[in-house]
Amino acid sequence: PHLSSNNTIVHCHNCSIVANTSCRTEHQTNKMSSLPGALDFPSMEEEIVDKWTKEDTFQTQNKLSLDRGDKKYTFYDGPPFATGLPHYGHILAGTIKDTVTRYASMNGQYVERRAGWDCHGLPVEYEIDQKLNITHRDQVLEMGIDKYNETCRSIVTRYTSEWETTITRLGRWIDFKNDYKTMDASFMESVWWVFRQLFDKGLVYQGYKVMPYSTACTTPLSNFEAGLNYKDVNDPAIVVTFPVKGEENTFFVAWTTTPWTLPSNLALCVHPELEYVKVKDVATERLFYLVKSRLPQLYPVMNSKKWKPAKAKDHYEIVSTCPGKDLVGKTYEPLFDFFANTPRSNEYFRVLSDTYVTDDAGTGIVHQAPAFGEDDYRVCLAHGVIVKGGDIPCPVDADGNFTDEVPLVKGMHVKAADETLIKTIKEMGRLYQKDNLFHSYPFCWRSDTPLIYKAVPSWFVKVEDIRDKIVANNKETYWVPIEIKEGRFHNWLEGARDWAVSRNRFWGTPIPIWANEDLSEVVCISSVKELADLSGKPEVTDLHRETVDSIEIPSKKTPGTMLKRVDEVFDCWFESGSMPYAQSHYPFENKEEWEKGYPADFIAEGLDQTRGWFYTLMVLSTALFDKPAFKNNIVNGMVLAQDGQKMSKRKKNYPDPNLVISKYGADALRMYLVNSPVVRAESLKFREDGVLGVVKEVFLPLYNAFRFFMQNIERWEHGGKKFAPDIDTLRQSTNPTDIWIQAETQGLIKFVHEEMQAYRLYTVMPALVSFGGQLTNWYVRLNRDRLKGMEGEGDEAEKEAETGLQVLYDVLLDVTMIMAPFTPFITEFFYQHLRKFQPSYAEAANGGGNSNPVMPGKSDSVHFLMLPKYDEGRLNANAVEAMQTLQSVVEQGRYAREKRNISLRTPIKTVVAVLRNPAPHVVEGITGPLKKYVLSELNAWDFQVVPKENEHDWVTLSLTPNFKLLGKKLGKKMKAVKEYVSAMTHDDAVKCMEAGKIEVEDAVLDCDTEVTAKLDFSRDGEHWEPAVKGDGSIVVAVDCTQDEAILSAGVARELLNGIQQLRKNAGLEIKDKVEAFFSEEDGVTVVENAVARNVGVFEAKFKGSFPLPQRYAPEFSVPIKTDNVEVGGTQVKLSVCRPALAVADSLDPLAVKVLSTLDPATFSEGKDFSLNVDGKAFTVVEGVDFWLSSDSKAKSTGALKADTFA
């Protein structure tokens, strides 16, 4: 060109040089990819939540599924209470549920996911009682049931919006708009229907039973509820004397940990077969009856190690012995006379017998208070002390306080009365012994107060009548883990008792029984319509007590009289157990459709539900249909605080879940929880740094690999090409790492499907995490240069890059889809970028992205897609095994280097590996196509696998018997076998391993299962540093010889890494070309010499370019980034600069000025260039007057040790 200084030469202030208007200094090298270097995962997730909400993605997924006619997959979600905020237990169970249902949906099944709320029962009433300071049932009646229930209703959905916010932010897809509530009339009507079916089958009765009773909640609890909250407590343990009638100065002695029950004592009980003694106390000369084996209870000195039988005479004398049955019928003086003159008192205060009495504690004589003990009630009933349906002395009211019948402690709570009663008994001379017992005791699961056992009238379901069917139906279900089903749950079912389903409360579904006073006429209602028909009243729209209690039904047996509803409401567990039917208003609506989806395909809850929801589901489904309510069940363990204690709001011993999500993201929390023992029903000690670990160790590397792919696609497309996925290209690849990563990916897909079909999330998540490491730490790292187009020259390099990018794209897309149910956010993020390369992406316009058929690219969400099926043709066990061996060799090689403190930047001459019984394809792989990766990863110049015939020169094979397995088999021969095997030579051990057995002492040892083989390094030579794999299967030895060539190559490697880091710090992209210059301290040429020796290393890495000393940099070179780095033990100033033409030292300054403004990319090698500046003409020739780069000039002029560039 002809340039005029008057109109086309301008001054660039950024560069401080003269340049033309197309100056290179527009800072294009600072341009970054659209993907940020560090992804803010929580912010990304929030954007995706907004996108899903705006586009109604969840409902669109369901619509697509329905439109396709997908098979229905039924899921039941146990309803939580919304009176509190969701905690980690809810989040864990919700994540498991979401993962499984997302998987089912992406596997071609329609999954309805409705939110549900448990609205009734103790949790709500207890909170209202606390709020209104209600301590007595009468206070509710005075207030009015309608007002009380309205207050309850006002809080049951208090936190539903917070639940929806948290659960939605967690990424769980569940329908909150179409939710169900147990307080809805439709739900309650179905509960009535369920109860009516049980009533019609004769499975309902009213009984008077001793039951676990919550004095704080003034209601009985079922046995399974009583088992929900045991605590270790200290209780008084006393021994009381009962004078035997007709035997002077003789006493029965009974032990109890519930002194408050003694005013209600009606009898004593002994074991009929145990040996009892009558002993004379030496100190007091009183005589006592007790079981012989429990004499230490009266004489604790007998528990001493120094006790000898000869000392007994100093304490007691055995007067007589007899079996317990001989004591039956003896009578005694009552401790208190509160019930000594009541009806049937002539049957009280005598000795009974039953085998429930034991001699493992106490005295072998148990005091009987039938109103406060299940066994007491049963035994007294069997012996005629009390009669069925008759009154029982029960001086305790509904609030757990003593009534007027016991003036001594009137108005006192039973637990508070213990000390007063003990003091009185002592004053009466009837207290023999007082102690404390530390033991496990049941507490109310709602109020966290001690339970008592109390006789109360209740409505029962006859579980015992159908127990065998329940046990049989449980066997038809599949549980993860199976141990819970076959152990804890099975055992609970085998011991199941009749279920008390009524509660003497107010806020619940009323039991639909209308009856006369003596229950001789009973009507059970199954529907709103039936109630209206029988009562003559209009159909009601609400079924709570304030509505239905006033409705009466005319008696058919006694015309003119009315039947009234019984007082009780249902236990809320009955409602949750009815949830499969009631959430769909079965059988009043959706009957046929519901029956197609029953039993449920899947449920999931915590371990505590084995005695809760799992149990009630199984009981009711068996009673109704004689089948289980569900097919598959995942049971999760408990999430504990970091210190192993229960999470407590009061103690604040755990981080707020919402804060954790806002810091690290929901995907990280989901993966942390599911990739833990808690999905195997074990406990998890929650650690916030564990969630952070998922981000750092899984998501960041995965994101970096994804970003690296996108950057290299951008680089590859730079010349106008367009990347399009091509399955044939990747299938035809011969690159061993391509073949391996495809095999790993297809194997992962196969594994995920197999394990998810078996509901084993605890195996799937570790496999996904492990694969992420394989992809990022191995495939991407081994292929970085190749994917950058730096492996090979010209078109060949770009072809290799394209093949690698095709493979990486296919892997990323497959992994994005297969991980979508587990980590829904990051996979959606990846998909939105990956889909744009698909040909079908154009079909997404105008609503196509929300239509069938779904396909990658076209579909607007990864969650619309079907999960990939594995490609049998790309599975390759040999490639996987060879790569596993390569990884082991590399890991052991690195360990050997670390032991000698040799940096990876310093090359080593040789790596030698000895493999125990390697398959031929493994040796062929790592010494053939994979060898270059071993050399690269270990920065080694040579690698070899020792042939079998030479192994004895390098290692010794030692064998060790598996003593655990062989203990029973060998017995006394074990020592001889051990000595024989341990003494084997290397060659003998090899022969035995090849034969697969060892014959010794008339025994045959299987080398595969009963013997452990291990290789140990045995070669001489200080320059060898060995490393042995943990299982002894691989030995790697590194030649640690360090000479000038090795040290020089190490310095070059350090410089190369410094340049790469400087590029990264400058924000440069892969495609950005730069020149690198360095300057050392005065008089030091370590780096310069290393560069001269290793020019080829730099040229291979930097596409023919290499760094130069700063003195070779053009004076107009523009630094992008400069920093001081340590290389070869010395400080080096390092700069990366924009590419610039290099000029001959003798070139005219005017020509230099013009050339300094021009972009080297616009020139070709060997071409001349004409220019005219202010009338002066020049013709300059590339390679003579100027060069395309400074390193080209250095090569051409021989400035940097010319012999190096030959």
- Which residues are known catalytic residues? 79, 118, 573, 609, 613, 646, 649
* Crossing angle (nearest 10°) for helices 700-716 and 761-773: 50
Compute φ and ψ for 512, nearest 5 degrees.
Answer: -85, 50
The alpha carbon dihedral of 441, 442, 446, 450 has a sign of: negative
Residue by residue, DSSP assigns 218-259 as TEE--HHHHTT-EEEEEEEEEEEEEEBTTSTTEEEEEEES-G
CA dist., res. 399 & res. 217, Å (int): 8
H/E stretch holding 197 reads helix 185-200
Residue with tokens 């892997």: 811
What separation in angstroms does the CA of 830 have from each of 49, 519, 701, 801, 816?
Answer: 15, 67, 13, 21, 7
Distance, first Cα to last Cα, the chain: 35
Nearest-CA neighbor of 1078 among 1066, 1068, 1090? 1090
Alpha carbon separation from 211 to 207, 214, 375, 458, 1035 (Å, rounded): 11, 10, 11, 9, 67
Among 616, 481, 632, CA closest to 79: 616
Q: What is the Cβ-side half-sphere exposure of residue 20, based on CA atoms within 13 angstroms?
A: 16
* Closest to 1154 measured CA to CA, from 7, 54, 9, 60: 9
> What single-letter amino acid sits at 249?
N
Spatial separation of the C-alpha atoms in residues 970 and 1005, rounded to whole Å? 10
Closest-CA residue to 671 (of 787, 768, 561): 768
* Token duo for residue 285: 């000369």
Pair 1046, 1023: CB distance under 8 Å: no
- The strand pair at 250-256 and 287-291 is best described as parallel
Upper half-sphere CA count for residue 140 (Cβ side, 13 Å): 25
Between CA 182 and CA 190, with CA 185 as vertex, the angle to 5 degrees is 75
Sheet with 1075-1079, edge to edge strand ranges: 1108-1109, 1075-1079, 1130-1137, 1119-1127
Task: Using alpha carbons, list the distances in angstroms from residue 115 to 168, 613, 822.
Answer: 12, 16, 20
User: Is the separation of the CB atoms in 981 and 959 below 8 Å?
Assistant: yes
Measure the CA–CA gap between 475 and 627, rounded to whole angstroms. 10
List Cβ neighbours of 524 (8 Å cut-off, separation of 6 or more).
195, 196, 199, 200, 204, 512, 513
Mind spelling out the 3-state secondary structure of 1028-1050? Answer: ECCCCCEEEEEECCCCHHHHHHH
Lookup: tokens for 605: 């809850």
For the chain, the residue count is 1206
CA distance 439 to 234: 7
Q: List, in order, residues 6 or more apart from 88 with CB less than 8 Å away.
A: 639, 647, 654, 657, 673, 686
For the beta carbon of residue 832, count every other beta carbon within 10 angstroms.
15
- H helix or E strand, kind and range, residue 1132: strand 1130-1137
**Cβ partners under 8 Å of residue 54, min gap 6:** none
